[in-house]
Amino acid sequence: MSARSAYRVLYTRPEPAHMFEARLRTAGCTVLRIPLIRIAAPASWDALDAALARIGDYDGVLLTSAQAVRWFTGRLVDCGIEERSLPPVHVVGPKTAAAAKDVGLEAEQLPSAFYGATMAAEMSDVNGKRYLQPTSDIARDELVRVLAERGAHVEQVTAYRTLPASDDDIRRLREAVEEGFDCVAFFSPSAVRGYRDALPGWVQGDVCVAVIGTTTANEARSAGLRVDIVASEQTAESLADAIAAAMNGK
C-alpha cells in the first residue's frame, strides 16, 4: 500500500458502479472513477431498425450487457414495438437479466458462467435457428462463432458505439497518475486499450491491476500489464470484494 492514508482505487467504467464503490469504501478505500470509454448511439439506426422490422423472423434475441439492453429497448420504444412481440430473450448474466427485467423483458435461464461463449454453448435446440444480437460496434465474435459451430446463425447489429475517452477524462487520468493510486480496475478490454493509449509510457510498478473477467485479463496481459486480481465472478461486487481482500492481505 502507498503512504497515503487510504488505499486508492481507480476504476474506468463509463457509468457509475454504486455497489462496487460502496463495498470498497466500506473496506476503507478511496475510490476514483475516470471513464476510459464513452457510450453513444450508432452513427445510423438503419441496420437495427431493419432488424426490428422483421423481428418475427428471429428465434431469439441475445443481450450480452446492460448497455445492449438499454439501447435495444430504447429503440423498441422509438419504433413502437412492444416487448411482448419479441422472440425469447437470452442474457449473459444476472446484471444483464436485472436490466432486462427493469424494462419488462423476461430472460431465459442464465448460463453457468457469465460469458457470451458460455451462453452460446449452453443454449438448447439452436441448430438451424436465427438470432439477433444488438451489440456494440466493437463486439467480439466468440458468441457468433460458438453458435455457428452448433448450426445457428447470429446477426450482429450495432445498437450503440464504444468511443474513446474524452480529452477531459484523459487529462484527469494523467493527473491521477501524478497523484498516485494503489489499484486500477478494468471492466472491459476497451478500457484497457484506452488506458494504454492515454498512458503509453506508464510503468506499473507496485500498482495492482484488477479485472472483472478472463477476457479483460487477456487484453491486459496483451497490453503488457501484470494482472494481479481477476474477479471470481464477472460482477462488479465480486471484483470489489477481491480488491478489498487483496488490500487486507487475505
Distance, CA of 37 to CA of 4 (rounded, Å): 28
- The CATH class, in words, for 7-36+165-247 is alpha beta
Q: Is the pLDDT of residue 140 over 90?
A: no
Please check whether the two domains, 7-36+165-247 and 40-163, share a CATH topology. yes
Pairing of strands 89-91, 130-136: unpaired
Instruction: Classify residue 83 by its DSSP letter.
Output: G
- Taking residues 18-38, report their average pLDDT: 95
All residues at 6 or more sequence positions from 205 whose CB lies less than 8 Å from its CB, including other chains: none
| pLDDT above 70 (res 250) | no
Q: What is the pLDDT of residue 5?
A: 61
Mean pLDDT of 174-191: 96
The confidence score (pLDDT) of residue 114 equals: 84
Domain-by-domain residue ranges, the chain? 7-36+165-247, 40-163
- % helix / strand / coil in the chain, to the nearest 5? 40, 20, 40
What integer pLDDT is reported at residue 2 of this predicted model?
45
Say whether pLDDT at 162 is over 70.
Answer: yes
Please say if the pLDDT value at position 249 is more than 80: no
Helix 189-198 and helix 214-222: axis angle, to 10°?
A: 30
Q: Cα(first)–Cα(last) distance of the chain, in Å?
A: 14
**pTM for this structure?**
0.86
Alpha-carbon distance of 88 to 106, in angstroms, equals 8
Per-residue pLDDT reduced to its tens digit, 67-125: 999 999 999 999 999 988 999 999 998 889 999 999 999 899 899 988 889 999 999 99
Check whether domain 40-163 has CATH 3.40.50.10090, yes or no: yes
DSSP 138-188: T--SHHHHHHHHTT-EEEEEEEEEEEEPPHHHHHHHHHHHHH--SEEEESS
pLDDT at 1: 42
Q: How far is CA 204 from CA 28, 49, 111, in A?
A: 23, 45, 35
166 Cβ contact list (under 8 Å, min separation 6): 35, 38
Grid cell listed for 209: 491491476
